């Protein structure tokens, strides 16, 4: 074979390139076959006041990620005050006896770091990424606001306007988000996961200082929190710092552990249709009620993860190849398994039809794929590809301090253990074809589902549709917040 052209490498360079490529491929293969040995290990201990501490070392740079996780989220809100968990997250950046209003983030910034927070159905988390030598300062600040939050009425009213505007911009102006919110409300018959994390607008508008302080005093305490520190630290030095800061905060014996309604059996499929002039294109959506990693049978959640990677994730998935490539029914498709919640999980699929194709045709196409998987399972090649993809993601995410802190913090807060987290690659590797087919047959059950359609509707006012962005892809509703 003759190769011509000015950009062709010389033979020695070509040999070097091939050797490097082979080395990279061998490393990737090694990481995928022995993922548990390629990732950091955590050290955990508990302070005298009940606060759990997890340390993951990474000494490549003098930087740390510091996260405090509270075992409370939107699913723990009292009736009538939806959104209070997220609202309190915002208010935590106001004042304490020692930190003036609005100064928390400014202090972190002056120290050369970044900070933020977020709220989910089960968790509320606050984090800073900071130089190692500034860690004592942010730990002291975080311990301070754990018990010394001071709210003035003016601060509360101003921040309430902020969260209302957040809801308007992220939900009210997004037809797909509105549909997702309505579908969740229909999917959960009893459980509070049916309430939006950000809250219902009419209840958010009435949230008060008293509501926030009651929620704060009920759930914010060291014995209801987990500290995760990743980066250039050693466990002994974190223990010393934690005892000097968080350790001085007394446990609150009145912290009420969460009790939630149990979801009853789902016996009938539900459907919902949302017409909105701002929807750019019609779209099909379906959610199935499923177990989470906490509530699933051993190996079941891992099988669901792999199932949905094969069925709905990316351009090699069953649904994409069938509806987009082969039958030309859809312009885009997708889906996933969400198993990170405490009480239950969810399977989601969606598709946007091409022009001239009905939503009914798209739904029939998706049902055909899902029915085939329920009856026949997936192939060995598909399972192996999905495993390699997930295990590679696990290894690559382990290279990021923030991802590690989030991995441990979220999982521990919803009730999993360090062992669960670190043995996940091994459990993924052990999933069989039979495990996947069993999970598909059990959980792709139309009686446990809500099907939603988003349909563009001709507006009465032609300017109405132009005023909002067109959006047909589903919006995951796992969390709210991230202060801006």
Q: What is the DSSP string of 230-277?
A: EES--HHHHHHHHHHTGGGSPP-TTPPPP--PPPPP--S-EEEEEEET
Catalytic (active site) residue 172? no
Gap between the Cα atoms of 205 and 417, Å rounded: 38
129 Cβ neighbours under 8 A, 6+ residues apart: 63, 64, 65, 66, 113, 114, 115, 401, 402
The tokens describing 377, both together, are: 């399972």
Task: Determine the 3-state secondary structure of 383 from DSSP.
Answer: helix
Cα distance from N-terminal residue to C-terminal residue, the chain: 58
The CA distance from 451 to 364, in Å, is 12
Say which residue the tokens 């979220």 belong to: 410
Given 89, 155, 159, 302, which residue is catalytic? 89
Closest residue by Cα to residue 145 from 121, 167, 115: 115
The answer to whether 222 and 47 have CB atoms below 8 angstroms apart is yes
Q: Which residues in 17-44 are b (16+ Cβ under 10 Å) and which e? A: eeeeeeeeeeeeeebbeebbebbeebbb
Active site residues: 89
């Amino acid at each position: 074979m003759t190769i011509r052209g000015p950009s062709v490498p010389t033979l020695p360079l070509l040999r070097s390139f091939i050797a490097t490529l082979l080395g990279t491929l061998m490393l990737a293969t090694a990481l995928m076959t022995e993922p548990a040995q390629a990732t950091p290990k955590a050290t955990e201990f508990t302070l005298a006041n009940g606060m759990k501490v997890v340390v993951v070392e990474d000494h490549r740079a003098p930087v740390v990620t510091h996260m405090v996780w509270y075992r409370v989220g939107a699913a723990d809100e009292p009736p009538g005050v939806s959104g209070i968990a997220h609202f309190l997250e915002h208010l935590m950046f106001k004042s304490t006896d020692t930190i003036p209003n609005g100064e928390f983030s400014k202090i972190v910034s002056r120290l050369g770091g970044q900070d933020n927070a977020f709220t989910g159905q089960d968790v509320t988390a606050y984090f800073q990424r900071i130089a190692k030598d500034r860690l004592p300062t942010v730990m002291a600040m975080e311990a301070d606001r754990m018990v010394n939050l001071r709210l003035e009425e003016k601060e509360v009213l101003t921040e309430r306007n902020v969260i209302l505007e957040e809801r308007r911009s992220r939900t009210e102006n997004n037809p797909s988000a509105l549909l997702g919110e309505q579908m969740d409300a229909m999917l959960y018959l009893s459980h509070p996961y049916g309430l939006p994390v950000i809250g219902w607008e009419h209840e958010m508008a009435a949230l008060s200082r008293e509501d926030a302080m009651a929620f704060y005093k009920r759930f914010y305490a060291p014995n209801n929190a987990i500290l995760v520190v990743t980066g250039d630290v050693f466990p002994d030095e974190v223990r010393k710092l934690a005892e000097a800061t968080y350790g001085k905060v007394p446990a609150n014996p009145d912290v009420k552990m969460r009790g939630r309604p149990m979801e009853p059996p789902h016996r009938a499929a539900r459907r919902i249709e949302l017409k909105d002039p701002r929807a750019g294109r019609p779209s099909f959506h379906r959610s199935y009620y499923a177990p989470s990693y906490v509530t699933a049978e051993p190996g079941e959640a891992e099988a669901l993860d792999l199932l949905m990677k094969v069925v709905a994730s990316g351009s090699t998935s069953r649904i994409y190849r069938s509806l987009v490539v082969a039958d030309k029914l859809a312009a885009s498709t997708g889906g996933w398994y969400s198993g990170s919640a405490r009480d239950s999980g969810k399977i989601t699929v969606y598709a946007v039809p091409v022009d001239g194709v009905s939503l009914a045709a798209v739904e029939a196409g998706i049902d055909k794929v899902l029915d085939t998987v329920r009856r026949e399972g997936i192939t060995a090649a598909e399972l192996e590809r999905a495993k390699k993809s997930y295990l590679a993601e696990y290894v690559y995410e382990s290279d990021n301090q923030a991802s590690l802190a989030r991995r441990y913090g979220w999982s521990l807060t919803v009730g999993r253990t360090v062992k669960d987290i670190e043995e996940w690659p091994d459990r993924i590797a052990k999933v069989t074809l039979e495990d996947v087919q069993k999970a598909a047959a059990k959980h792709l059950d139309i009686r446990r589902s809500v099907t939603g359609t988003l349909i563009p509707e001709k507006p009465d006012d032609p300017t109405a549709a132009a005023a909002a962005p067109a959006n047909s892809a589903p919006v995951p509703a796992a969390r709210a917040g991230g202060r801006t």
